[in-house]
Structure 1
Amino acid sequence: MASRAATTLFDAGIIADRWVVDYCSGGRGDDVLCAAGPSDPAWRAVFEELATLGGDMLDHARERAQRQAAEIGTGFRIVGEGEERPWPLSPVPLLIGSDEWRGIEKGVAQRATLMEAVLADLYGDATLVEAGHLPAALVTGSPFFLRPLSHLVPPGGSHLQFVAMDLCRSPGGEWRVLADHLRAPAGAGYALENRLAMARTLGGLQGRLNVERHAPFFAAFREGLAERCRRADPRIALLTPGRLNPSYAEQAHLARYLGFLLVEGPDLAVLDDQLYVRTIAGLKRIDGLWQRLDPRMIDPLALDSHSAIGVPGLIDAMSAGNVVLANAPGVGLMEAPAFAAYLPALAEQLLGETLSLPSVATWWCGNDAGRAEVEARLGDLLIAPAFGPHPLGLPDGAVLGQALTEESRAALLADLARRPQDYVGQEVASLSTMPVVAGDRLEPRPFTLRVFAARAADGGWAVLPGGFARIGEHPDPRAAVMGQGMWSADVCIHGSDPVAPVSLLPSGDSTQLRRNPGTLPSRVADNLFWLGRYLERGEAQLAVLRVLLGHSISADTGAALEAGTVERLVGLVAAAGAAPAPATFRRAELQQLARTALEDESGWSSIRAINAQARGIGAISRDRLSADMIQLLDAPFPTKGSLLDKAGTLQRRYSALAGLSAEHMARTDAWRFHDLGRRIERAVATIRWVRAFGGADATADDLSTLLDLANSQISYRQRYLTGLARVPVLDLVTLDSFNPRAIAFQIGKAAAHLNKLPLLSDDGLAEPQQEGARELAAMIVTARATTIGEPLLQDLDLKLARLSRSIARRYFLQGAEPLRAAGMTLA
């Protein structure tokens, strides 16, 4: 008998038919699936794929889609929250036929063309205002109008390179625009990640429905941006506000996918009107910048002087034609809802065409006719801020007129009389609904669609086939009630014509081969170096706790360590700031010490706190680390089992992270900095252990503990059969360059890395960081195990700290200085 797991396509078809019939019956249907008809082959294919995936259990399909999104690393952050949330992905995509999509595509390109023409005029000669087609107050009264950029023609002549629009579909099938996004359009990365997750979940759907692919759009955007740069082979970066930005995960994914550098404001410097990124090899020229900052924050010299995330002089570099910004600062002027009231007339004036994708009907209260219309229909409209900031009459933002209380209505009308230009009235749009999985059944929910357009190399607009859908939590179909939505869905544009399997990557025959791994910004090198140090620091502290737990606390391990050894273990924990030293070494107090050092969150430098530091670095290094490594860094702290069980779980996690960095990271400069951090931290930890347990009066328990901490018990036993002796133990963990846990091995690896990293001078002499590593290596080579004592160990410790500072001084960012060496090469 066939099991449910072996469901055939025929069985899946029966299940799919039942789902659709049940969904569309009893008045629970929607305007998309049910309007197409229960026998529509495209929708039937979707539910056949879902049934093939999870049998007749819809909740299984939802869990599978959510798991795929999590594995890709899709996440987002609510403003004000520190932790990312998982991206909510529905397993049911929105289907749009190619014929219907062509109309949407045309309307999006037309609208983008119109906005470019309006922006060129308003930041140029302002003939639209002079001729009376636009009120002057609509332009100069907007907080998004950047007067310092007036008459500045962007490099390439275009203000807009990438735009997004929120669309709604009425129950009758008409598409309209709810909002335009021009300043820092977000969401294209989520559309890409939705598609990747759905391709893994419903793998057969793309071929069955001839779903149009996303790769050609992103290729067109990349080529269009490169075309407007001055150099034939430009260096392009994505400028992010940082990891606390709500869409940072999306930005990191896009940078990785497009091959752009992911940079923050402090990574960049302007010198002689040219933009550079600070790298470990000096300043490297940036030709194009896809910026995701609030434009007012982008240059503290030209715009907001309080900005700490911008790049001083960036507007000068743009004005000189040396850097292309996507999008140019100031384009947010056209985002204002008040502009929607004038777009139909502007389309006729500038394009000689009617808008094929109109906005939701809008009235600006800054003119008498618009204000009179809004006041007369107040109960039927959505009342919203005209420019974005909340006016006094709308303290909580846009509100349905019919939802106003008597008091709030009076306050709104009073402020409307004082400052009518701050308000717009908009028609309350009614949204189409689509099927979503709610529990174990399908339910209709309202949706909006975010679409994207990018300027291609030929100057025309390429439109991403699909975008992503936002789905409301409640059945209420009014757009104002839906808000931002609770779920997202992939949007599949399908048709009868086969779709070529296009990839963003060009063919090997047409690509210039490279073995240069690319540019490594100094900030990224700094992060990877300290990621290595934190991971080694956590593992070293865990080693101390595991020895303490395994030999002195656990009831199942036989004889405990002698008191002196336990005291030294406790001293290591306390000296690291992981936990306060207990008054006595009774079992209960040692357990509390271990618990605090392992999982305390109140301020001690516990392993949990160290892991949180590593996790924070991982969060801002998504474009440099594998998804597996990010998942391990993000894994929750273990909470089940005994302290020894939790320690074992953490040790396996540390080992997995070490294995990924050793075997899965390419041997680039990025890997070298990560491994440098590991080597320096491991050497420091081993010195600390030798100083504690390798003294002249070391006992057998001390030496055994030292071997345990250095993970060298097996090596020692294979080499020496006569039992523990101090000099052989010291030689193995200190001077043996073949032991990967020995101090000598760490110093040798560090010196090798520093010899491979780029130098910033041309005199052929060793730089300070190389000199420091060579001095350490000479000390180790000339040392003898019989003479290892406190003076040598203390000197090694001090010189390792000096080496770490030399590395930071040479390669990492030092405040705002643009140059760190007189001989630094600009490229």
Structure 2
Amino acid sequence: MSQSQSPSIGQPTVPAASDTLEYSPQPGLLDETRAADGSVKPGWQYLLQSVGDLGPEVMRQREHKARRILRDDGATYNLYGKPGSPSTSWELDTVPYVIDSEDWAGIEAGLVERSELFNLILRDLYGPRDIIRHGALPPEALFGHGGFLRACQGLQMPGEQELILHAVDIVRRADGSVCVLSDRTQAPSGSGYVLENRTVMSRVFPSLYRDSHVHRIASFYHRLRLKLISLSPSGDIPRIALLTPGARNESYFEHAYLANYMGFPMVQSGDLVVRNGFLWMKSLEGLKRVDVLLRRVDDESCDPVELRADSQMGVPGLLEVVRTGRLVIANPLGSGVLENPALLKYLPAISMLLLGREPRLDSVQTYWAGDHRDLAFINDNIRSLIIKNTWRGSNEPSVFAGDLDETQLQALLARIHRYRHQFVAQEKLAKSYTPAFNGSGLEPRPTLLRTFSVATDNSYTVLPGGLTRIGTSLDGQFISMQEGSPSKDTWVTASEPERAPVPGLAPEKRHFSGESALDSPPSRVVENLYWMGRYAERADASMRLLRTVFVMLNGEDPISADAQRILLQTVSEITYTLPGFTTATAAQLADPEAELMQIVRDGERVGSVRSTINSMLLAADESKELLSTDTIRVINDVRDALDNLDGDLAGGLASAPEEALDPLVTALAGLSGLTQESMIRGMGWHFIEMGKRIERAQQTIATVKGLMGTVSGEMEQSTLLTALLTSMEVLITYRRRGREKRGIELGLELVLLDSRNPRSLLFQLERLQEHLVELPRPGKESGELNAESRALLEASTLVKLSTLPQLLQVADQRRPELEARMTQLADLLREFSRLITDKHFDHRSGPQQLFTSFGGTAPGVLNAGLPGAGERG
């Protein structure tokens, strides 16, 4: 095969020697691919041979495909402090981490034992505290830790397991054994990314994945789902929800992905309320009782009444509902105390007390500054140690003391001595290495594995694999997702194909089509869909008029100064970038480039194209769990086109800027089509369509009023009518019908009164009436029309009773009837929108925060009470 020929994905290849990829471990480093005698481990042999045969060019193609799939899935991870966009694409190295079944069996047994031990510790620390009474753990290590919540004393979950999910970070040591670096027990993250990595790798390397006999992972998530269902205190079919901090959280993609995969609604604090001793979710159909919460919010932030008073991510009164046994939270509140690294020092003694044996898996050697002998050791050996705060909530990063200068080192020692019980020191372990593809070859990278266990009826089940993270370079021993460390799929391989799945287990790839997975989504999610529809339509209408203006300004046929002034003023009015051209001087109107470019790309200017699309993208992120995979893919197309906008507009008006807007217009059109063809006709669809129809009607009214409200000369009038018809996509229809009649009357008939035109004003009002009858109607209603029905009926009647000759009457170079009618219709539509949002989205009657020290809007709340949001003009 020549280099120009690429083998199809999944097909065996026999490339020339020059096309192969060779992997050479670095001398002196522990390499996972090699046995003690230097030979390639059997589990790695087939993988390295297959990857080597593919060669660098094919591997680059596979890597590109993997990135495309991740991008289409919307897989992101928020890197705090990174300039620009808050989220970045999830990084996946295309060479998996391989562990054979025999090796994994020993690791798995140790992980099950560790989860059982930590479960016993959690139950004891909030119960009898035998480990303290028997001297296995100093009292200061518990009571001085920020993760110990006294308010949770005595709380117990149903069944034998308190710890439902447990994550463990492990590394391989030089002797081949594994060592635990840390435990995650509050809200362990990463399992959703494991699922995404596996989905991507099975698509990018289908034959390699199949022939490697990789253990499937879907049963782990099925068991998690069954466990959560079994925890419900209600005898009815339980409602389980996933509690997320919101779209700005670092792993928000994972939250939405897991919620969709397991069929749970995803909620934020504002979606929940405690009433009558129960926890309820606010939905369009009313309050729905929640029985189990799978939380991704830290302990102390879950209840601002009893825990952290300034938290905006919690629900007031939540802990009291748990205390009465009417709600189960997984993992239970207070489980963050198990993340105290000082526990690792005392774990062997604790295990002897609770299990009668020391743990199978060793923990990293840990020294607690609260112990006098350990403090002396830390003083003498600090430059070779990693210093950590015992409480992750302190947000104090770990530091390798050997990297500090003398001044920094002395300051650190002073802090350790002053706050002895808050610091531990750990030995710096050399990590093992695995091969990674760097774009041209394979090179070793340091490796860290996080794996997960879930509680079953009487023990724990371990995920066969996990989330492998690697260093960003050969010598990058510090591995952190916040530093941009890539991930790997982890393959636990067997010598023969895995047996058939247990009947009833979920398949490897389980897809939910938006709302079909969710019986009653939170009203906040539906509200964001409504604003997503409005912002998408506003951006579309703005860009269509802008494209028309750009073409006319650069066209061969010159336009008069009067026509140019009206066009530019209308641009300012429909984009709400006021005052803009409405107060511009004659010189500014003659040279409009600077203002037009700002209207398109200034993200800080409210009403600009970029600002409007950013608002749409934020609304889409907040309602991601109701969007199909194809919809997310198109939303990412919009995001990409927006990112490329500045480069496409670099030449200003001289370089055909209308073409720079084409990708955005096309992507938004695709999004509109998908909502029609791929979205379940539930409440989410009705509200996104209502938002779209309200905004399109408002934009049509504003455009007609701006372009047709003033009477100009014949040439100017022709220019403005052409602009109206072009931006409304009816110019071709106008020309065809123009054989019978032409002029402004025909143009207004198409734009305002033609019910067959999907962009006409009458079409929008008729669709709004259809959606209105499908909305929930709380309580019994009489035959009397409600306020929103009356407003919509009045608007529709005004349009239908309009006569074009009357609208086109002229007085003092204006069309007062047209302007008055458009103003009246705009007011009615604003009132209709206000009534709809107040009735279905306003939750001001709910409980308020007792105290808050943070300014701004609570995380996850979009457009709630935002002055003029979508209602300007």
TM-score w.r.t. length of structure 2: 0.86
> Deviation of residue 427 (structure 1)?
2.3
Determine if the alignment matches structure 1 residue 757 to structure 2 residue 775.
yes
> Deviation of residue 117 (structure 1)?
0.9
Provide the C-alpha distance between the structure 1 equivalents of 2:409 and 2:370, rounded to a whole number of angstroms. Answer: 19
Q: 1:347 to 1:190 in 2, by over 3 A?
A: same
Q: 1:767 to 1:115 in 2, by over 3 A?
A: farther
Deviations 1:675-717 (A, max 9, x none): 1111000001111122233448473333333222322222233
Structure 2 counterpart of 1:441 = 441
Provide the C-alpha distance between the structure 2 equivalents of 1:522 and 1:165, rounded to a whole number of angstroms. Answer: 36
Structure 2 counterpart of 1:19 = 21
Contact kept? 2:56, 2:439, Cα under 8 Å: no
Determine if the alignment matches structure 1 residue 280 to structure 2 residue 284.
yes
- Give SS of 2:443's match: strand
Contact kept? 2:698, 2:826, Cα under 8 Å: yes
Instruction: Choose 472-481 or 491-500, whichever is displaced more.
Output: 472-481
In the TM superposition, 1:683-762 aligns within 5 A as 683-695=697-709, 697=711, 699-762=717-780
Q: 1:481 to 1:204 in 2, by over 3 A?
A: closer
Contact kept? 1:472, 1:482, Cα under 8 Å: no
Structure 1 counterpart of 2:823 = 794
- Give SS of 1:90's match: strand
AA in 2 matched with 1:454: V
Determine if the alignment matches structure 1 residue 128 to structure 2 residue 124.
no
Structure 2 counterpart of 1:783 = 802
> Deviation of residue 247 (structure 1)?
1.0
Q: 1:501 to 1:585 in 2, by over 3 A?
A: farther
Provide the C-alpha distance between the structure 2 equivalents of 1:157 and 1:768, rounded to a whole number of angstroms. Answer: 55
Contact kept? 2:201, 2:209, Cα under 8 Å: no
> Which of the numbers 663, 668, 671 marks the counterpart of 2:685?
671
In the TM superposition, 1:206-355 aligns within 5 A as 206-229=209-232, 230-355=234-359
Structure 2 counterpart of 1:680 = 694
AA in 2 matched with 1:311: V
Structure 2 counterpart of 1:518 = 519
Contact kept? 1:31, 1:171, Cα under 8 Å: no
Determine if the alignment matches structure 1 residue 499 to structure 2 residue 498.
yes
Determine if the alignment matches structure 1 residue 204 to structure 2 residue 202.
no
Structure 2 counterpart of 1:537 = 538
Structure 2 counterpart of 1:824 = none
Instruction: Choose 564-573 or 527-536, whichever is displaced more.
Output: 564-573
- % of aligned pairs identical? 31
Structure 2 counterpart of 1:559 = 557
Deviations 1:493-527 (A, max 9, x none): 110232257596479xxx9xx97962121111111
> Deviation of residue 482 (structure 1)?
11
Q: 1:152 to 1:702 in 2, by over 3 A?
A: same
Q: 1:242 to 1:482 in 2, by over 3 A?
A: closer
Q: 1:67 to 1:221 in 2, by over 3 A?
A: same
Determine if the alignment matches structure 1 residue 426 to structure 2 residue 426.
yes
Structure 2 counterpart of 1:630 = 635
> Deviation of residue 674 (structure 1)?
0.8
Structure 1 counterpart of 2:398 = 398
Deviations 1:635-686 (A, max 9, x none): 2242225312113233222222222222222222111111111100000111
Structure 1 counterpart of 2:856 = none
- Give SS of 2:626's match: coil
Contact kept? 1:45, 1:208, Cα under 8 Å: no
Instruction: Choose 48-57 or 380-389, whichever is displaced more.
Output: 48-57
RMSD over aligned Cα atoms: 3.0
Provide the C-alpha distance between the structure 2 equivalents of 1:692 and 1:500, rounded to a whole number of angstroms. Answer: 69
Provide the C-alpha distance between the structure 1 equivalents of 2:495 and 2:18, rounded to a whole number of angstroms. Answer: 22
> Deviation of residue 256 (structure 1)?
1.5
Stretches of structure 1 lacking an aligned partner (at least 5 in a row): 820-827
Structure 2 counterpart of 1:644 = 658
In the TM superposition, 1:40-51 aligns within 5 A as 40=41, 42-50=43-51
Q: 1:274 to 1:725 in 2, by over 3 A?
A: same
AA in 1 matched with 2:625: D
Structure 2 counterpart of 1:475 = 474
Instruction: Choose 4-13 or 41-50, whichever is displaced more.
Output: 4-13
Determine if the alignment matches structure 1 residue 117 to structure 2 residue 146.
no
Contact kept? 2:242, 2:266, Cα under 8 Å: yes
- Give SS of 1:489's match: strand
Provide the C-alpha distance between the structure 2 equivalents of 1:408 and 1:6, rounded to a whole number of angstroms. Answer: 54
Provide the C-alpha distance between the structure 1 equivalents of 2:177 and 2:792, rounded to a whole number of angstroms. Answer: 69
> Deviation of residue 397 (structure 1)?
4.2
Provide the C-alpha distance between the structure 1 equivalents of 2:536 and 2:328, rounded to a whole number of angstroms. Answer: 39
Q: 1:706 to 1:39 in 2, by over 3 A?
A: same
Provide the C-alpha distance between the structure 2 equivalents of 1:27 and 1:550, rounded to a whole number of angstroms. Answer: 64
Determine if the alignment matches structure 1 residue 617 to structure 2 residue 613.
no
Provide the C-alpha distance between the structure 1 equivalents of 2:409 and 2:585, rounded to a whole number of angstroms. Answer: 67
Deviations 1:50-106 (A, max 9, x none): 356556564444434333322322111122345211112111100001111122112
Instruction: Choose 217-226 or 635-644, whichever is displaced more.
Output: 635-644
AA in 2 matched with 1:382: I
Determine if the alignment matches structure 1 residue 452 to structure 2 residue 466.
no
Structure 1 counterpart of 2:548 = 547
AA in 1 matched with 2:205: L
Q: 1:679 to 1:403 in 2, by over 3 A?
A: closer
- Give SS of 1:93's match: strand
- Give SS of 1:23's match: coil
> Which of the numbers 355, 378, 385 marks the counterpart of 2:389?
385
Deviations 1:178-229 (A, max 9, x none): 0111112111111111111111211112210110112100010011001111
Contact kept? 2:74, 2:633, Cα under 8 Å: no
AA in 1 matched with 2:32: V
> Deviation of residue 309 (structure 1)?
1.8
Q: Report how many residues are paired.
A: 805
- Give SS of 1:651's match: helix
Deviations 1:270-326 (A, max 9, x none): 111211111111111111111111211111111111112211111112112222111
Provide the C-alpha distance between the structure 2 equivalents of 1:816 and 1:50, rounded to a whole number of angstroms. Answer: 60
Q: 1:174 to 1:237 in 2, by over 3 A?
A: same
Instruction: Choose 561-570 or 444-453, whichever is displaced more.
Output: 561-570
- Give SS of 2:5's match: helix
Contact kept? 2:600, 2:609, Cα under 8 Å: yes
Structure 2 counterpart of 1:573 = 571
> Deviation of residue 795 (structure 1)?
1.6
Instruction: Choose 64-73 or 1-10, whichever is displaced more.
Output: 1-10
Provide the C-alpha distance between the structure 2 equivalents of 1:729 and 1:447, rounded to a whole number of angstroms. Answer: 67
Provide the C-alpha distance between the structure 1 equivalents of 2:846 and 2:212, rounded to a whole number of angstroms. Answer: 55
- Give SS of 1:316's match: helix
> Which of the numbers 371, 374, 395 marks the counterpart of 1:370?
374
Structure 1 counterpart of 2:178 = 175
Provide the C-alpha distance between the structure 2 equivalents of 1:404 and 1:811, rounded to a whole number of angstroms. Answer: 56
Structure 2 counterpart of 1:815 = 844
Structure 1 counterpart of 2:793 = 774
Provide the C-alpha distance between the structure 2 equivalents of 1:130 and 1:811, rounded to a whole number of angstroms. Answer: 55
AA in 2 matched with 1:198: M
- Give SS of 2:425's match: strand
Q: 1:5 to 1:119 in 2, by over 3 A?
A: same
Provide the C-alpha distance between the structure 2 equivalents of 1:782 and 1:476, rounded to a whole number of angstroms. Answer: 76
Provide the C-alpha distance between the structure 2 equivalents of 1:721 and 1:480, rounded to a whole number of angstroms. Answer: 71
Provide the C-alpha distance between the structure 2 equivalents of 1:63 and 1:594, rounded to a whole number of angstroms. Answer: 36
TM-score w.r.t. length of structure 1: 0.91
> Deviation of residue 152 (structure 1)?
1.9
Contact kept? 2:601, 2:608, Cα under 8 Å: yes
Contact kept? 2:97, 2:434, Cα under 8 Å: yes
Q: 1:174 to 1:711 in 2, by over 3 A?
A: same
Provide the C-alpha distance between the structure 2 equivalents of 1:574 and 1:481, rounded to a whole number of angstroms. Answer: 46
AA in 1 matched with 2:256: A
Provide the C-alpha distance between the structure 1 equivalents of 2:327 and 2:17, rounded to a whole number of angstroms. Answer: 56
